Amino acid sequence: MSVVGEKLQPTIFELSRPGRGGGKIPHPPADALDRIPAAARRAAPPALPELSEPEVVRHYVNLSTLNYSVDTGFYPLGSCTMKYNPKLNEWAARLPGFAGLHPLAPDAAAQGTLQLLFELEAILAEVSGMAAVTLQPAAGAQGELTGILMVRAYHRSRGDLERTEVLVPDSSHGTNPATASMAGFRTVTIPSAPDGGVDVDAFRAALGPRTAAIMITNPSTLGLFEARVGELLEATHAAGALAYMDGANLNAVLGRFRPGQAGFDVMHFNTHKTFSTPHGGGGPGAGPVGVRDVLVPFLPGPRVVREPDGTFRLEREGERPSSIGRMRSFFGSTGVLVRAYAYLRAHGGTGLREVSDDAVLAANYIKARLAGAYEVPFERACKHEFVASAADIKRRTGVRTLDIAKRLIDKGYHPPTIYFPLTVEEGMLIEPTETESLETIDGFVAALLEIAREADTDPELVTSAPHEAPVRRLDETTAARQPNLRWRGMTGIERPCSS
Ligand SMILES: *Cc1c(COP(=O)(O)O)cnc(C)c1O
């Protein structure tokens, strides 16, 4: 069976015909080549495809329509908060004053952008209950690294050099243990309790004079509010360690839970999730980090400073020697930060609270409607996302979560996150966000209920899905381990991907 359906067209190189081209571009002067020094000239023309302008346009526009996106449909990818991105944000980010600013422009020519960044830091500090915020990190993962490096600097500044461990729950995102390792710590994994929360007894047993920090995702990657978070934080501080909050799930608690006020010492935001920048294609993002007072001296530099006369400037080299230094070139992903600012200002405090309320309502509604057809391992009310499981369906029919995800594609929906967190057998992490209508959500629920019925009546239909997608099942292991992402001219030895 071919994995390639008829919607996939030949590559642009295969469409190429020698001598074909746009032809409407003014021809260069006759002596153009002579004006280029011989040493700078190519020996042979580049191996570019030759096509007419409409052929090129159609090729790429047709390819673009194969993409699934938030702008084309519902995208319930748990942990990622794939909400609709208001076009107002795009307008703001494209304003020439922001988009056209040179990254090396002197402060005097960059006052508008510096003011926006200064105000964005203050808004995020307000939202999180933290004392100060850095906007520099390029994504949540880099925010984690920034935060843990500040924790390291804090302990070192106190001469406390024995702290070599970071505690991380077993449901955490892979970036948490990766961050701990990159910062030179040993990761200690804490198991979950049956209710999905951190096992507090195991946590207390692991905590000690070697603990530098704990990293808690709240709400957790199971979509559950960490009910005993107060106890965890108290024990952490009593042991002399600091508490990091992975804020990727902040969309669930805006206006209702302020991590800094609750006692967390440091956290990151994923502006591209919570504050709506298009993401999913791998960036760019932004992962600002908020800190409590004790970590302020260690924030990366340069920070934006407001002078007594109201003007803004960047910190000068060496101005704050306690800083952990620079985490990213220039001032971070400024275009993403403009979008976050626009989103935050457009919503305001009450708007942000509504965002969370609606996201939580939508998740609980889907969870309630799926119960019965799918297992929901954690009964208590979820936050903005929840885990369903197809373990029972698999035992009964042989249909796995992966098959259900593929079958959803046939029904016009992007699949949810599957097999994450790793702690749930045949898990599906479903996150609807606040931006979907009841009709859209009902359509998604109907599709999942129909697939559960198909698993019983015609399992083959599900295990061989997708039937309607541009490609059928791919060998995902080979695709991940040996990605072949570039077209190369066939020399005769190589062969096109086997069909
Ligand atoms: C997305 C996510 C991260 C990593 O954030 P990036 O911005 O993708 O680097 C970390 N933790 C959790 C729980 C996440 O969902």
Contact predicate 251/271, CB 8 Å: no
Query: 292-345: per-residue pLDDT in tens?
Result: 999 999 999 999 999 999 999 999 989 999 999 999 999 899 999 999 999 999
pLDDT at 499: 41
pLDDT tens digit string along 427-474? 999 999 999 999 999 999 999 999 999 999 999 999 999 998 888 888
Q: What is the CA radius of gyration of the chain?
A: 26
Pairing of strands 289-291, 266-268: antiparallel
78 CB near ligand 1 (under 6 Å): no
Backbone angles phi, psi at 385, to 5 degrees: -150, 165
Nearest atom in ligand 1 to 139's CA: 7
Whether the predicted pLDDT of 8 surpasses 80: no
Higher pLDDT, 148 or 481: 148
Q: What is the DSSP string of 189-239?
A: EEPBPTTSSB-HHHHHHH-STTEEEEEEESS-TTS---TTHHHHHHHHHHT
Residue 51: half-sphere exposure toward Cβ, Cα within 13 Å: 16
Distance from C-alpha of 115 to C-alpha of 117, rounded to nearest angstrom: 5
173 within ligand 1 shell (Cβ under 6 A): yes
- Percent of residues, the chain, with pLDDT higher than 90: 80
494 pLDDT tier (thresholds 50, 70, 90): very low
- List the structure tokens of 297: 């001296």
4, pLDDT greater than 60:
no
Over residues 76-86, the mean pLDDT reads 95
Has residue 28 got a pLDDT over 90?
no
What is the predicted pLDDT for the residue at 476?
Answer: 82
Minimum mean pLDDT among 39-43, 97-101, 197-201: which range? Answer: 39-43
Amino acid 489: pLDDT: 64
Substitution candidate for ligand 1 out of 246, 249, 387, 423 with most atoms within 8 A of CB: 246
Q: Is the CB of 433 under 6 A from ligand 1?
A: no
- Which among 266, 268, 269, 259 has a CA at the least distance from the CA of 241? 266
**CATH of span 356-481:** 3.90.1150.10
**CA distances (Å), 266 to each of 23, 81, 226, in order?**
58, 21, 17
Given pLDDT bands bounded at 50, 70 and 90, which one contains residue 498? very low
- Check pocket membership of 271 for ligand 1, CB cut-off 6 A: no
| Confidence category of residue 284, pLDDT binned at 50, 70, 90 | confident
* Nearest ligand 1 atom to alpha carbon 287: 7
Q: Is the pLDDT of residue 242 over 80?
A: yes
Model pLDDT, residue 254: 98
Start-end of H helices in 293-370: 334-370
For the whole model, what pTM was predicted?
A: 0.91
**Which segments of 363-486 are extended strands (E)?**
386-389, 417-418, 427-430
Domain boundaries for CATH 3.90.1150.10 within the chain: 356-481
Between CA 430 and CA 433 the distance in angstroms is: 9
Question: Is 89's C-beta closer than 6 angstroms to any atom of ligand 1?
Answer: no
pLDDT at 24 (0 to 100): 64
Alpha carbons 27 and 331: distance in angstroms, whole number = 42
Percent of the chain predicted with pLDDT > 70: 95
Query: pLDDT by residue (tens digit) across 396-434?
Result: 999 999 999 999 999 999 999 999 999 899 999 999 999
Q: Is the pLDDT reported for residue 53 higher than 70?
A: yes
Give the ligand 1 atom nearest the CA of 217. Answer: 13
Interval between CA 219 and ligand 1 midpoint (Å): 13
Task: Identify the residue with better confidence: 474 or 215.
Answer: 215
Alpha-helical runs (H) found in 207-333: 229-238, 259-262, 271-274
- Residue 344 tokens read as 């935050």
- Segments of the chain assigned to CATH 3.40.640.10: 87-346
- 3 pLDDT above the threshold of 60: no
Q: Locate 449 and state its tokens.
A: 């209920």
CATH of 87-346, one of 2.40.110.10, 3.40.50.1370, 3.40.640.10, 3.50.30.30: 3.40.640.10
Whether 243 shows a pLDDT value over 80: the answer reads yes
Look at residues 280, 334, 316, 352 and name the one whose alpha carbon lies nearest to residue 135. 334
